Amino acid sequence: MDRLESLCQQINQMNEPTNDVKDDSRRAIAVELDVSADGRAIEASIKRAWDAFGHIDGLVNNAGVKGQVKSSLELSEEQWNHVVNTNLTGSWLVSKFVGTRMRKAGRGGSIINISSISGLNRAQLRGAVAYSSSKAGLDSMTKIMALELGDYNIRVNAIAPGLFKSEITEDLVQKKWLENVAKRTVPLRTFGTSDPALTSLVRYLIHDSSNYISGNIFIVDSGYTLPGFPIFSSL
């Protein structure tokens, strides 16, 4: 929350008058929201955000947890629920309450779910049953909500990132050998960086230029999950 408030402060400082001219087009507020909370708490946070601006044009469901790396037989029910409630149920509830208000306002809008290549049928990992299941469910939710909300000009898409630096992957991306892995196995020879790889796509999906884009899962992984294995690449 502290980082978010600091970011909002930086954005708001851009509006400070310069030569007696003030730009009111940029304004940010921080609203605390626990996506693993119950529906009433989530709805209350959505209301605060909506009331601050009078509407919401774009929603990015970016909250997510990896959970414990354990086999399907060793994972506890509590550990399963923690991951699924955060990654899937929370995203559905936030989308539900924002989508309901978007429908009533009649302005259209864009909902973007941050999924993962782990949710794809070509990128399964041992020990990630809860995480992969939650992301696969998020992809299905994206498509179904796109079908249902299209009547109200609300677009719903998902982004499935590959390996980028985040709180989940922070330890892994610092490994020195990872660059060599990318050069040998990734078609574009790099895993890339979230900015601009993800941020540019988010901006596009929120912008009016993507008015005819809905129900898609955008894979952003430098081609890492393309079918094929480079074991014979040197032959």
| 131 is known as an active-site residue | yes
* Residue whose structure tokens are 């490994």: 175
d(CA 74, CA 24): 54
What Cα–Cα distance (Å) separates residue 12 from each residue in 3, 29, 102, 218?
Answer: 14, 9, 25, 31
d(CA 194, CA 90): 23
d(CA 41, CA 45): 6
Annotated catalytic residue within 131, 204, 212, 224: 131
Structure tokens at 82: 């923690």
Catalytic positions are 131
